[in-house]
Amino acid sequence: MLKKALICAASISVMMIAGAAHADTKGKKIALSNNYAGNSWRQAMLKSWDKVTKKAVADGVVAAADAFTTSENQVTEQAAQIQNLILQGYNAIVINAASPDALNGVVKQACDAGITVVSFDGIVTEPCAWRVAVDFKKMGRLEVEYLAKKMPAGGNLLEIRGLAGVFVDDEIHAGIADGVKANPQFKIVGSVHGNWAQEVAQKEVAGILPSLPEIKAVVTQGGDGYGAAQAFAAAGRPTPTIIMGNRQDELQWWKEQKDKNGYETMSASIAPGVSTLAFWVAQMILDGKQVPKDLTVPFLTIEQANIDAAVANTEKGGVANVEYSAADAAKVVAGK
Amino acid sequence: MKPALKRLGHQPWLGSFIAATVVWLMTIAFTGGQGGGEILTSALSFGTFTVIVGLGQMMVITTGPGNVDLSIPATMTLSGVIAMKIMNTDEALLLIGILAALSASLVVGVANYILIRLLRIPPIIATLSSSFLILSTAISYGRGIRIKPPPSLAEFATVRYAGVPVVAVAVVALSFLLAIVLKRTIYGRTVLAIGQNERAAWLAGLNVKSVRFATYLLSALFAGICGILQSGFSGGAALNMGDDFLLSSIAVVVIGGTSVAGGKANVPGIWGAALFMYLLVTMLNIFGASPGVRLILTGVMIIAVITMAGGEKASR
């Protein structure tokens, strides 16, 4: 018993020494392995990475922070890319993964080579890697809770889902389903897959709309609100409360409606700047800090009161964003 | 009378129209007659876009085995992004924007043909790899992506009279024109001849090279037109606006009764197939089918329609 306690104490003191010593990360190289760049969210994500890491490199925090994107959004391609990054001698690899489990093999190889692997947004399940994840389920639940507050009488909902078969889609959907279960005054009368794209959402909603009764609100996964609004307008139906994502066109539309007729809704999304949070987490790990393997990032919500500011701060065609600092990352790691 | 009816029965495009009608009837039976007209209207609106790129794809596929244009989605995106960015919601720049977008599309067509002809890369690989280049150009040029279209373009793309979208009427006219080109012009006949037997066409003194070149240009041009219209229709251009059209542009060609082996084109079938594809997804959405079931049923229905349309082989 005493022996155990001693070992424990010893290991704690070693950890503290390591923490206090601040293993220098000046010479360390971090790489971003990204599986897709073909939409405005990913573009903003890469831009944020570029902005924050450039400054970190200039300030001498790390030696390099290069971003690599595969062209085809394919697991095999990303696996090959990560293998290259291992050979190139990066100290840490930050991954937005094409698949939660198919990259586990190559992630394990990286870990075995002594490389720190931090996944975010599209996370990997391999235990040796860190995960910076969003509580998507909570995001779905929050949408219904907001509606319950706004319209206590309830009503019919139309659900726009994301890409079928993707983890994020299942999670947000499960959250929405939970929310509806807890608030039985709401009923989902129709569900389509908008693939997180305005054009697809517009097409699918326009198709199902003629068959539906009056819709009180549309629950979404972000990136599809504007398309849904267009479909309702084209069908000559009254505009329901559409939960928005964080794309500029959605926010702009919301603001225009608000100025015209006091339209009220909310926006829930993941800030693309989460890539910078993952960067700082990787830097902290390289720095020898103790970081839990599973971290949760707050999602970005925009409320009625601050829509004007949000539109003003979002560039045309971009997405509402937050970039994280080393201090923010430390807060997330501490679980605050 | 009888031979005429018999001839109609042998038309390979009939299958897709029958399928579209059946699916539509099943849908309104399910909703108890509610929204039948509106569903048709939206099928026409959205089907039109598929038809535009489908026509271009049909011409390319008709020039023979291995010919296919996979750069259509990327070209659409590039064209939409250029058009929206140049117009910048300004009516005065409407024409310049359209011209610039279409010129860029034609450049894509030329580039595709250079890859295929001069570098002798198979069309599938050539157009796929060029689409990476095109999309990257669109991304770096576009950055700020969704800029609203000028009001007149948005109006033209969305306006409808008595439930019939104007764009759909325009594209029907375009389809007629293309059908006449295929049947009655040297260019059209040459496309068919190349598809049936390239060597025979060449020996017959037809200009195989320039006709194939023109066909890739045409496909890129149609993709460009579709990109501009789609941007007008959905309130701006987005980087992923073409994603949905890669498979659907090929699917409508095949379902519509055009021979994948080339040499046999079918214009009306593209309309039937585009309406069928849209109505099918709508029906499954309205039935509330889960995504898995939806994909399986879509696959089964497509196979069924192609088998139905494939009956014409025996008559040859």
Listed by start position, the domains of chain A span: 25-128+271-298+321-333, 136-243
Residues A79-107: b if buried by 16+ CB within 10 A, e if exposed: bebbeebbeeebbbbbbbbbbbebbbebb
Which A residues, 213 through 272, put their C-beta within 8 Å of a C-beta on chain B? 226-227, 230, 234-235, 247-249
Best residue of A191, A203, A311, A321 to probe chain B, by most B CBs closer than 10 Å = A203
pLDDT for B191-201, tens place per residue?
999 999 999 99
Whole-Å CA distances, B38 to A118, B164, B273: 49, 10, 19
In a domain, B280, yes or no: yes
Query: Looking at residue A17, what is its pLDDT?
Result: 43
Nearest to A210 among B39, B132, B288 (CB): B39
Extract long-range pairs of A9-16: CB within 8 Å, 24+ residues apart: A15/A290
Best residue of B146, B228, B229, B293 to probe chain A, by most A CBs closer than 10 Å = B146
Which A residues, 77 through 136, put their C-beta within 8 Å of a C-beta on chain B? none
Min distance B28 CA to chain A CA atoms (Å): 8
Nearest to A43 among B132, B143, B278 (CB): B143
Residues of chain B neighbouring A48 (CB-CB closer than 8 A): none
Q: Judge whether A206 is closer than 8 Å to chain B, CB to CB.
A: yes
Which A residues, 43 through 82, put their C-beta within 8 Å of a C-beta on chain B? 43, 71
Query: Looking at residue B2, what is its pLDDT?
Result: 54
Total structural domains within chain B: 1
Residue A21 has pLDDT above 50, yes or no: no
Residues of chain A neighbouring B50 (CB-CB closer than 8 A): none
Residue A36 has pLDDT above 90, yes or no: no
In a domain, B28, yes or no: no
Give the three-class secondary structure for A239.
Answer: coil
In the sheet where A217-219 sits, what is the strand order?
A186-193, A155-161, A217-219, A241-242
- Domain of B77 in residue numbering reads as 37-311
Residues of chain A neighbouring B40 (CB-CB closer than 8 A): none
Closest chain B CA to residue A227: B234
CATH superfamily entry for domain A25-128+271-298+321-333: Response regulator (3.40.50.2300)
Nearest to A210 among B35, B236, B240 (CB): B35
Amino acid identity, position B280: L
Give the three-class secondary structure for A74.
Answer: coil
Min distance B276 CA to chain A CA atoms (Å): 13
Residues of chain B neighbouring A316 (CB-CB closer than 8 A): 144, 146-147
Closest chain A CA to residue B232: A199
Give which of A227, A297, A299, A313 is closest to A266, Cα–Cα: A299
Closest chain A CA to residue B241: A199
In a domain, B23, yes or no: no
Q: How do strand A267-269 and strand A300-302 relate by DSSP bridges?
A: antiparallel
pLDDT for B34-79, tens place per residue?
888 889 999 999 999 999 999 999 999 999 888 999 999 999 999 9
Give which of B101, B109, B74 is closest to B216, Cα–Cα: B109
Cβ separation A249–B42 shorter than 8 A = no
Residues of chain B neighbouring A230 (CB-CB closer than 8 A): 234-235
Nearest to A197 among B27, B43, B238 (CB): B238
Q: B287: domain CATH number?
A: 1.10.3470
Residues of chain A neighbouring B42 (CB-CB closer than 8 A): 206-207, 209-210, 234-235
Give which of A141, A149, A320, A150 is closest to A245, Cα–Cα: A320
In a domain, B92, yes or no: yes
Q: Which residues of B touch A (CB under 8 A)?
A: 27, 30-31, 34-39, 42-43, 45-46, 132, 135, 139, 142-147, 158, 230, 234-236, 238-241, 243-244, 278, 281-282, 285-286, 288, 291-292, 295
Cβ separation B241–A202 shorter than 8 A = no
Residue A157 has pLDDT above 90, yes or no: yes
Among A37-41, A209-213, B309-313, the range with the most confident prediction by mean pLDDT is: A209-213
Residues of chain B neighbouring A315 (CB-CB closer than 8 A): 144
Cβ–Cβ under 8 Å, residues B219 and B69: yes
Closest chain A CA to residue B230: A199
Is CATH 3.40.50.150 what the domain over A136-243 is classified as, yes or no? no
Min distance A160 CA to chain B CA atoms (Å): 11
In a domain, B21, yes or no: no
Give the three-class secondary structure for A316.
Answer: coil
Give the three-class secondary structure for B135.
Answer: helix
Cβ separation A209–B244 shorter than 8 A = no
Closest chain B CA to residue A43: B143
Domain A25-128+271-298+321-333 and domain A136-243 have a common topology: yes
Query: Looking at residue A307, what is its pLDDT?
Result: 92
Give which of B275, B283, B262 is closest to B305, Cα–Cα: B275
Would you write out chain B's pLDDT as a tens digit for each of its 316 residues?
A: 456 666 666 677 888 899 899 999 999 998 888 888 889 999 999 999 999 999 999 999 999 888 999 999 999 999 999 999 999 888 899 999 999 999 999 999 999 999 998 898 999 999 999 998 998 888 888 765 678 889 899 999 988 888 899 999 999 999 999 999 999 999 999 999 999 999 999 999 999 999 999 999 999 999 999 999 999 998 888 888 888 898 899 999 988 988 888 889 999 999 999 999 999 989 988 888 887 888 888 888 878 877 776 555 544 4
pLDDT tier, A7 (very low <50, low <70, confident <90, very high otherwise): low
In a domain, B51, yes or no: yes
Cβ–Cβ under 8 Å, residues B272 and B17: yes
